[in-house]
Structures are given as C-alpha cells and as structure tokens.
C-alpha cells in the first residue's frame, strides 16, 4: 500500500510538472517578446546611392575589388532588401522624390512630391525631428543640393522642380547646418551668374534661374559660411556651412563619349569628411544624408563606365564614415538606394544580347576589366528608366541589426525614429 501511494504521488508530481511546462511554453508563444532598451544612437550617416541596385553594387565591386573582394559599403555586418514602390496612381514605379519622401518621413506619396502626402500636406521628416532634438543636420550630394533626394529630408513642396523654394526652406525654416553640392543656379536670380559662369561650354543651357532672390546673400545674413571651391571648403570653419560647386549637377550626364564627365570640383569623400568635421562639433549628435547622384544619372544614359566611377567615389565616402564610426561607437551608418535604374544585369562579354536587336538604346555595355583578374564583364541594360526591383541596404553601428529582412522603404524611417527617439508613429 505504501509503495502504491508513493507511485501515485510520483505520477501526480510528474504530470503536474508536465502541465506546468506545457503552460509555460504556451505562455511563451502567446506573450509578446520582451523589448530590449533602445540602442544608444547619437549620430546617423545615411548614404544614398541614387539608382543603385544589386547589380550596380556588384559591377562596382568587380571593377574595384575583384571577384573575391568586398566594397566598403558591402563589408558591413547587417543587410536588408527594400521595396521601392510609390503610391502614385499612374505608376507604382517610384521616382527619387517619392522614394526619398518614404525614407525620410515614413509616408508613401506620389512621384514628384517632396515630403508631402497624397493630399499635399507636409509630413515631418526624420532630419527635422533630429533638428528639433538639438542635433546638427547636413545634406551632401553630387546633384543640385535642392534635388529630390536631399530635398525630401529637409523641405516640403508639391513639386520637386521648385528648387529655389526648397533652398529657401533649407536656410530659413529647416535651418540645415551643412549643405554641400551643386545647383548654384537655383540660389541666384536670372542675370546674376554667381561664381560659376552662365552658359558654360560643357552645357550652354546652364544658367542662373532662381525665383527667390539672392539666396546666397540671404544665407550669409543667416550666419552661413559660403564656399565655392575645394580650397575654400578646406579652409572653412564654423558650424553653418553652404558650399555650391557647380551650376547644376557636379558632373555632365551624357552617353559614353558624347561629352560625359564625372569630375566633381570637390570629390564626394572630401565633402563627406568636411561635413562630419563640422557636424561633430554638436555635442548632441547629428543626422547627415550623403548622396551620390551620378549612379542614377549615368544609368539613365546606360553609361556603365561613369556609373562605376561614381560608385567608386561613393564607396570611398562610405569608408570615411566607417572610419569615423569606428572611433565614435554611437554612430549608425546606413548605405541604401532610393530605387534601381537601368534594369541592369552582369554578363560575360560577347554573348547574344537578349535585351534588344541592336536598334534600341539599351544593350550590352563594356567590356570592363575585373580587378585582380584577367577576366572581364559586360553590363546589359534593359531600360533607360527606373524599375521596381528591390534594392539592398547595409548597416553598421548601434541598432544596425534592426535593418535586416525584406521590407517597405517606409520602415527605414520608422526604425530610425525608434532608435533616435524611442518612439514611432507605427
């Protein structure tokens, strides 16, 4: 009898333990995961390779590092894949304005919109939030500083073409601390050529066309140091900096051999370094956007040679930011694209061109040498426009692990908002 009672008691204990374990497992599945404390992110450097899809990255890598090499932008511990579609009723394939608006504000909108929603209402951007939090802010690009991508982080307008309005907002409303790139023509009224002459030989159509008066003088009144050359940029001091280094873009967008030039007055890595030097004076941190525009512009022309050259400059700029981040562990670095351009693939040279019959603009481009190899590769362009292809994102620094997976471009804003301010509208 004693042994029977003992076995019964043991059986009850075992069953009770099993039920308790089962309930614990059920609770673990049902209960929300315990949230860890937000990572301490003080600084953000967000790189945009405009139009840079996966094939673009690989072409730049092959030409620069070889088959087994890694670009600086790829040698980062975390990666994701980003959907790029816009909310445009006529075309879901995005332009740079709608894509940058989604990244900057977390809101999908129509093509051509600069941080306004489908009803034309302004939507707050992550850069504006950073400014309100006391951080320094910066925009660096090889395009016009008022072009779609930088504009979407620091301005609001129904049409991306209103570039003088965008410039005025930068200095009077958003009060961006560092603004470096091209586009002098939109800062001076017609008839006032500024430092860079109107109607230059390389593009006679370039000329001052501002609609908001002399915005360079206005910027000076507001405390900006204005620079026009590499030497002036190097010598500049202070916490507010405006640098305009070309009439329009800092390159000439053309098909290969037809006046195409990529030779910025100030290279992107140098502008990036100067921006970091200036912005890092703010003890509360900074938010910096750096764009290489020529990847997209040269892809529109199916100009593989200068697309690669521009991509190499972007990679050198990323290296500058990575070096900074390694010394400042509270710095998050992201490298992404707004969309893909060109429908690009990589092939061995000399094969049949499936993209056309030789009469179309698009087709095989190359051959291009592979670094540290005797082999070559060709680029096969399938369009001169944007595509709906997903684009890669790579990240390093605090919170970088949050950017893994496959997701909408609006999620980039939402994660940044959580990391920087511990909140999200989602």
Other CB atoms within 10 Å distance of the CB of residue 404: 14
* In 132-219, beta strands by DSSP E: 136-144, 178-182
H/E stretch holding 126 = helix 126-132
Active-site positions read 96
Q: Which residues are annotated as a binding site for Mg(2+)?
A: 50, 147, 149, 291
Q: How confident is the model at residue 253 (pLDDT cuts 50, 70, 90)?
A: confident
pLDDT bracket for residue 130 (50, 70, 90): very high
For residues 326-339, give the mean pLDDT.
97
- Please give the annotated binding residues for Zn(2+), written as ranges: 50, 296, 300, 338-339, 386
What is the per-residue pLDDT across 153-174, written as a single tens digit (0 to 9) for each?
Answer: 999 999 999 999 999 999 999 9
Q: What is the pLDDT of residues 273-314, one digit of tens each?
A: 999 999 999 999 999 999 999 999 999 999 999 999 999 999
Residue 32 predicted with pLDDT over 80? no
Position 21 pLDDT exceeds 90: no
Query: How much is the pTM?
Result: 0.88
Q: 279 and 136 in contact (C-beta within 8 Å)?
A: yes
> Would the pLDDT of 402 be above 60?
yes
pLDDT of residue 34: 38
CA 110 to chain CA mean position, Å: 19
pLDDT at residue 23, rounded to an integer: 39
**Region of poorest pLDDT, from 224-238, 302-316, 318-332, 340-354:** 340-354
The model's pLDDT over 54-80, given as tens digits with 9 standing for 90+, comes to 999 999 999 999 999 999 999 999 999
pLDDT value at residue 58: 98
pLDDT at 97: 97
Q: What is the reported pLDDT for 255?
A: 82
| Residue 193 confidence (pLDDT) above 80 | yes
Cβ pair 338, 49 in contact under 8 A: no
> What pLDDT is recorded for position 333?
98
Task: Report whether pLDDT(363) > 90.
Answer: no
Position 362 scores a pLDDT of 56
Q: Per-residue confidence at 422, pLDDT binned at 50, 70, 90? A: confident
pLDDT tens sequence across 216-234: 999 999 999 999 999 999 9
More confident residue, 18 or 41: 41
pLDDT for residue 405 is more than 80: yes
pLDDT of residue 257: 79
* Residue 348 pLDDT greater than 60, yes or no: yes
pLDDT digit string, tens, across residues 38-61 = 459 999 999 999 999 999 999 999
114 Cβ contact partners less than 8 Å away, ≥ 6 residues apart: 97, 101, 148, 151, 152, 155, 156, 157, 158, 159, 160, 162, 166
Whether the upstream peptide bond of residue 367 has omega within 30° of 0, thus cis, is yes
pLDDT of residue 353: 56
Amino acid 260: pLDDT: 87
**Contact between 119 and 156 (Cβ < 8 Å):** no
pLDDT band at 101 (very low <50, low <70, confident <90, very high): very high
Q: Which CATH number is 38-85+119-421's, of 3.40.50.11440, 3.30.420.40, 3.90.220.20, 3.40.720.10?
A: 3.40.720.10
Average pLDDT over residues 317-344: 97
Instruction: Give pLDDT, residue 350.
Output: 78
Residue pair 127/115 in contact by the 8 Å Cβ criterion: no
Query: Which region among 130-139, 243-252, 309-318, 345-354 has the lowest average model confidence (pLDDT)?
Result: 345-354
Pick the residue with more confidence: 426 or 290?
290
How confident is residue 12, by pLDDT bands cut at 50, 70 and 90? Answer: very low
Contact criterion met (CB below 8 Å) for 399 and 419:
yes
- Could you give the percent of the chain with pLDDT greater than 70? 87
Work out the pLDDT band at 425, boundaries 50, 70, 90. low
pLDDT at 11: 38
Residue 246 pLDDT level (bands cut at 50, 70, 90): very high
Average pLDDT, the chain: 89
Q: For the stretch 262-284, what's the b/e string if a residue is b when 16 or more beta carbons lie within 10 angstroms of its beta carbon?
A: bebbbbbbbbbbbbbebbbebee
């Amino acid at each position: 009898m004693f042994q029977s009672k003992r076995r019964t008691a043991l059986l009850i204990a075992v069953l009770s333990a099993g039920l308790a374990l089962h309930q614990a497992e059920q609770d673990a599945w049902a209960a929300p995961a315990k949230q860890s404390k937000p990572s301490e992110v003080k600084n953000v450097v967000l790189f945009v390779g405009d139009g840079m899809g996966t094939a673009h990255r690989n072409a730049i890598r092959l030409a620069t590092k070889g088959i087994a090499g890694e670009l600086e932008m790829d040698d980062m511990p975390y990666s994701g894949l980003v959907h790029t579609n816009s909310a445009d009723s006529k075309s879901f394939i995005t332009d740079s304005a709608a894509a940058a608006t989604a990244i900057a504000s977390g809101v999908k909108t129509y093509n051509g919109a600069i941080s306004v929603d489908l009803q034309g209402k302004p939507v707050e951007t992550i850069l504006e939030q950073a400014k309100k939090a006391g951080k320094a802010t910066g925009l660096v690009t090889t395009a016009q500083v008022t072009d779609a991508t930088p504009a979407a982080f620091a301005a609001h307008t129904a049409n991306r073409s209103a570039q003088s309005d965008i410039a005025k907002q930068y200095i009077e409303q958003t009060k961006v601390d560092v603004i470096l790139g091209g586009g002098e023509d939109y800062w001076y009224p017609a008839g006032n050529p500024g430092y860079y002459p109107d109607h230059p030989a390389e593009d006679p159509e370039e000329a001052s066309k501002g609609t908001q008066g002399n915005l360079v003088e206005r910027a000076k009144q507001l405390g900006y140091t204005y620079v026009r050359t590499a030497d002036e940029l190097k010598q500049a001091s202070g916490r507010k900096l405006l640098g305009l280094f070309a009439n329009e873009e800092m390159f000439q967008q053309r098909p290969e051999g037809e006046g195409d030039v990529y030779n910025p007055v100030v290279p992107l890595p140098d502008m990036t370094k100067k921006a970091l030097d200036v912005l890092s004076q703010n003890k509360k941190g900074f938010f910096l956007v750096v764009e290489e525009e020529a990847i997209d512009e040269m892809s529109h022309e199916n100009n593989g040679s200068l697309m690669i050259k521009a991509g190499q400059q972007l990679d050198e700029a990323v290296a500058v930011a990575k070096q900074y981040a390694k010394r400042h562990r509270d710095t998050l670095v992201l490298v992404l694209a707004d969309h893909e351009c060109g429908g690009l693939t990589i092939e061995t040279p000399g094969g049949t061109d499936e993209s056309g019959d030789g009469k179309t603009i698009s087709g095989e481009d190359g051959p291009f040498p592979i670094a540290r190899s005797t082999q070559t590769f060709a680029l096969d362009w399938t369009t001169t426009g944007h595509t709906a292809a997903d684009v890669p994102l790579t990240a390093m620094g605090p919170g970088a692990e949050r950017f893994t997976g496959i997701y909408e471009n609006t999620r980039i804003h939402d994660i940044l908002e959580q990391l920087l301010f511990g909140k999200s509208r989602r």
